[in-house]
Amino acid sequence: MASAVVPVTSPDEQPPGFPFRGPGLRARAIPFAVVAVLAEISLVLPPGVQSRAAVTVSIVLLVGVAVSFALPWGRLPGWLTALVPLVCTGWVLALILAAGATSGVGIVILIPLVWTALFHRRWESACIVAAIVAVEVITSLVPTAVADAVIIRRVLLWGLLGALISVAAHGLRDRVARSRRDAAVLQEQLREATVAQDRDRIAAGLQDEVIQRIFAAGLNLESAASQIAQPPVRRRVEAAATDLDQALRLIRDTVFGLEHRLQGRRLSEEILELCSGLSPVPEVSFTGPVDGALEPGGRTQLVALLREALAVIGQDAALASIGVTAGDAACVAEIEATLLRHAVGWTARDSDVLREQAAQAGASVDIVPVPGGVRFAWRLPLITAGVHGPQATP
């Protein structure tokens, strides 16, 4: 049960009948079902069954909870989902009456509480809290059993519930992590959409005002130049018209060139995706205009070099950080890793392989020992990036 994953999802985002239907049903139900069945089986432990009628009721209610997962929830009112954890609470009451108030079985009252807290709406959780208070009031009036005879049951059920809560908490953490990644992707998409909108707005404004006026001024100068008799003056007017035409070309290239820059994936995105599958995830940093420093060919070569290096380094080291810096003459990518104890001679064994791969891509690599590890630095010249040398095989 410890390896199960409980997906924590808001019921408002799920189809009718959630959490008793929909994706991830097994992952949701199995951990709770295991705890419930073992709690029922624990009645055979000392001090034994106190009420056979209560045992029968507890079994019937537990079977009813299991059968509820097969109901046609899509055709039932949405509020009926609250009845299932209420029936589960009734099952806990019957279980307590069957085993005794101090038998240690009462801790399974956390099952409906955790279930509703994870998967139900707030008002349903409030109903379960009220039901739990009623159960505690009822059980306080029941004669107690011998406390010293229930240690095994308490250890078993507390361990199971602790594992259940841990699984649920880790599922919640995974959900939060996924939400953060999705939010980062959405922010990036919003930024790209904003840039595209700004480009269109600027282009429309230039087309309606600036470009038309400059174009009209150039036509007027050309028309006026044909009517000028003095050659020096005519040449100066024609030169001015040529300058205006070049200015128009520069404006169009600047505005509509943004569309070309937005196409394809950026270098920072590819490196972040490359590092997302590593464990532990290294610290990643970017300095300077990394995304626009290299041509597409050079960017592909750098990513291929880093992928090959991570595959080799990961066998004998734990990655600490990855940094990419875009300078005036070169783009430098650095990886710092902590060598494992069995990899003392790693640098001498594999440095030639990395240097050969870098040379094939038109780059250079420096391998420098640091305290406890080693630092690798690949340098791709900005002028020759993407031109010299074949690409490394990804």
CATH number of the domain to which 366 belongs: 3.30.565.10
Predicted local distance difference test score (pLDDT) of residue 315: 60
Q: Which two tokens stand for residue 326?
A: 């875009």
- What is the band of 91 on the pLDDT scale with cuts at 50, 70, 90? very high
Predicted local distance difference test score (pLDDT) of residue 392: 35
- Boundary-marking domain end, from 150, 183, 216: 183
Predicted local distance difference test score (pLDDT) of residue 387: 35
Stretch 320-324: mean pLDDT: 82
Task: Give 93 or 3, the one with higher predicted confidence.
Answer: 93
Q: Are 39 and 87 part of one and the same domain? A: yes
Q: With beta carbons less than 8 A apart as the criterion, state whether 293 and 326 touch.
A: yes
Q: Are 51 and 134 part of one and the same domain? A: yes
In a domain, 211, yes or no: yes
Q: Are 255 and 326 part of one and the same domain? A: no
Number of domain units in the chain: 3
Q: Are 226 and 123 part of one and the same domain? A: no
In a domain, 221, yes or no: yes
Q: Are 58 and 71 part of one and the same domain? A: yes
Q: Are 205 and 168 part of one and the same domain? A: no
In a domain, 341, yes or no: yes
Q: Are 301 and 328 part of one and the same domain? A: yes
- Boundary-marking domain end, from 183, 218, 244: 183
- What is the band of 58 on the pLDDT scale with cuts at 50, 70, 90? very high
Stretch 112-121: mean pLDDT: 86
In a domain, 299, yes or no: yes
- Boundary-marking domain end, from 159, 183, 207: 183
In a domain, 389, yes or no: no
In a domain, 123, yes or no: yes
Stretch 341-347: mean pLDDT: 51
Predicted local distance difference test score (pLDDT) of residue 206: 66
pLDDT digits (tens, 9 = 90+) for 195-225: 767 766 776 666 667 777 777 787 787 778 7
Q: Are 257 and 281 part of one and the same domain? A: no
Winning range, highest mean pLDDT, from 89-93, 179-183, 290-294: 89-93
Q: Are 156 and 274 part of one and the same domain? A: no
- What is the band of 75 on the pLDDT scale with cuts at 50, 70, 90? confident
**What domain range includes position 320?**
267-381
User: Residue 326 pLDDT more than 70?
Assistant: yes
pLDDT digits (tens, 9 = 90+) for 347-371: 555 677 778 877 877 788 888 877 7
pLDDT digits (tens, 9 = 90+) for 125-144: 888 888 888 887 887 776 65
Task: Give 284 or 162, the one with higher predicted confidence.
Answer: 284
- What is the band of 64 on the pLDDT scale with cuts at 50, 70, 90? very high
* Residue found by looking up tokens 């999705």 in the block: 182
Q: Are 274 and 298 part of one and the same domain? A: yes
Stretch 14-27: mean pLDDT: 76
Q: Which of 80-84, 293-297, 322-326 has the least mean pLDDT?
A: 293-297
Q: Are 105 and 228 part of one and the same domain? A: no
User: Residue 259 pLDDT more than 50?
Assistant: no
Q: With beta carbons less than 8 A apart as the criterion, state whether 95 and 108 touch.
A: yes
Stretch 222-239: mean pLDDT: 81
In a domain, 388, yes or no: no
User: Residue 86 pLDDT more than 90?
Assistant: yes
Task: Give 237 or 94, the one with higher predicted confidence.
Answer: 94
State the average pLDDT for the chain.
75
Q: Are 157 and 241 part of one and the same domain? A: no
- What is the band of 45 on the pLDDT scale with cuts at 50, 70, 90? confident
In a domain, 133, yes or no: yes
User: Residue 185 pLDDT more than 80?
Assistant: no
